[in-house]
Amino acid sequence: MPQIIKERLFTPGPTPLLMEGQARTLTATLHHRTESFRKIMRETLENLRYFFNTKNDVLMFTSSGTGAMEGSISNLTSPGDRVLVGTAGKFGERWLQLAAAYGLETVKVEAPYGQPLSVDEIGKRLKSDGPFRAVYVQATESSTGVSHDVKAIADLVRPLPETCLVVDAITGLGTTDLRPDEWGLDVVIGGSQKALMVPPGLAFASVSEKAWKLIEKSKSPRYYFDFAKERKNLAKGESSYTPATTLVVGLHATLGYIREVGRENLIANAAMLAEATREAAKALGLSLFAAASPANALTAIETPEGLDSGAIVKEMRARFGAIIANGQGTMKGKIFRLAHLGYYDALELFAALAGIEIALCKVGHQCELGSGVRAAQKVYMKYAG
């Protein structure tokens, strides 16, 4: 019996940590109101601009990504403002909940789970139901593994002078080509525990000049997630309130690594792993849940007829210490999700797939052992030569 089991995360956050980043936090006995820390903070913010692919300010908050999502509601709107929300899963629904919490009037463009948002419908609603203060979407919907056409949505919003586009790119950053400045993504939101390879606890928001103008006029209540206040303090290298210092130091280190790897290469790595996973799923006789527009950040695979994905998740955890994600909400039991976010390499994917083949076999799905791995190997070889 195999008695050594190493725990591994294959979930769309938290993701595997870069140990060099973690190691750096061990000596981080820094006070946050010192020049030593301000230097780290300034460099981190500069490197976040690189990671976000923008010249805009990138704000940082000690919170989960949802905190920055809330900030992009409270800072851009006044009570009663009309906003358009594109939703195609659990994280799209979070926009609806946030808009309701702040008393906004919401027009919803909805896609069925597993499908991307209809750009046509967004275009129609922008014309027929506007004006809107802001449009809220995801870059990739982590609950379904779908990638939305952010560029096409941006092309619709950019010409509207009083409407900002807010993109939750918490799992999109580092996995998807996003061009905030070129396309006009006014607010882009990120989180530390995704492609950035550090633990949960930090949230980010890049903010465009167009958004800053709107923020000045917005009257929704805010305090902790006050964008203008944070911008002012961060310009001095300080956060308004006590930051999670070790996470900042860890992030400083991982951003150094990401600059070495290169943003585009990090994205290409996720794209390769995602394609390999899709080919593996097909080889194993499984269907992709988001086949029409799959994300690079994660792959959602449908559980074979008559089986519960919880059983596959459980097998992976018990046998291999490997944590993969079940579906959420109404998709629970129907899909399982495997992430490619950040610090993953090809060998790790081969290992995960070999484990999944065994788990599938054990829960009663007939498939040829090794055939998923083989399909993934072929994709690797297509790109790596």
Residues that bind a copy of itself (CB under 8 A): 1-6, 8, 19, 26, 261-262, 265-266, 268-269, 272-273, 319-322, 342-348, 350-352, 354-355, 357-358, 361, 368-374, 376-378, 380-381, 383-384
Q: At its nearest, how many Å lie between a copy of itself and the CB of residue 2?
A: 5
Q: At its nearest, how many Å lie between a copy of itself and the CB of residue 296?
A: 13
Nearest to a copy of itself of 51, 320 (CB atom): 320
**∠ Cα 31 247 62 (to 5°):** 85
Q: Cβ neighbours of residue 312 under 8 Å, at least 6 residues apart?
A: 303, 324, 336, 356, 359, 360, 363
Nearest to a copy of itself of 150, 346 (CB atom): 346
Structure tokens that stand for 284 in this block: 């194993």
Q: Are 119 and 152 in contact (CB under 8 A)?
A: yes
Residue type, 136: Y
Q: At its nearest, how many Å lie between a copy of itself and the CB of residue 79?
A: 45
Nearest to a copy of itself of 166, 271 (CB atom): 271
Nearest to a copy of itself of 269, 309 (CB atom): 269
What is the β-pairing status of strands 105-110 and 82-87?
Answer: parallel
State residue 55 phi and psi, 5-degree precision. Answer: -95, -5
Q: At its nearest, how many Å lie between a copy of itself and the CB of residue 143?
A: 25
Backbone φ/ψ region at 201: left (φ over 0), alpha (ψ -120 to 50), beta: left
Q: At its nearest, how many Å lie between a copy of itself and the CB of residue 16?
A: 9
Q: Cβ neighbours of residue 186 under 8 Å, at least 6 residues apart?
A: 134, 164, 165, 166, 180, 207, 208, 210, 211
State residue 355 phi and psi, 5-degree precision. Answer: -65, -45
Q: At its nearest, how many Å lie between a copy of itself and the CB of residue 11?
A: 15
Q: How far apart are CA 304 and CA 302, in angstroms?
A: 6
Query: Among candidates 112, 86, 91, 69, which has minimal Cα distance to 12?
Result: 91
Structure tokens that stand for 232 in this block: 């002012």
Nearest to a copy of itself of 235, 369 (CB atom): 369
Quick check: helix, strand or coil at residue 167?
strand
The alpha helices in the chain, defined as continuous H runs, are: 19-25, 35-52, 65-74, 90-101, 119-129, 150-157, 209-217, 227-234, 245-261, 263-283, 309-320, 346-363, 371-384
Nearest to a copy of itself of 76, 352 (CB atom): 352
Q: At its nearest, how many Å lie between a copy of itself and the CB of residue 287?
A: 21
How many other C-beta atoms lie within 10 A of the C-beta of residue 345? 11
Nearest to a copy of itself of 98, 274 (CB atom): 274
Q: At its nearest, how many Å lie between a copy of itself and the CB of residue 140?
A: 18
Report which DSSP code applies to 331: G
Length of the chain: 385
Q: At its nearest, how many Å lie between a copy of itself and the CB of residue 379?
A: 10
Nearest to a copy of itself of 79, 370 (CB atom): 370
Nearest to a copy of itself of 58, 267 (CB atom): 267
Report which DSSP code applies to 170: T
Backbone φ/ψ region at 78: left (φ over 0), alpha (ψ -120 to 50), beta: beta
Nearest to a copy of itself of 16, 200 (CB atom): 16
Q: At its nearest, how many Å lie between a copy of itself and the CB of residue 278?
A: 16
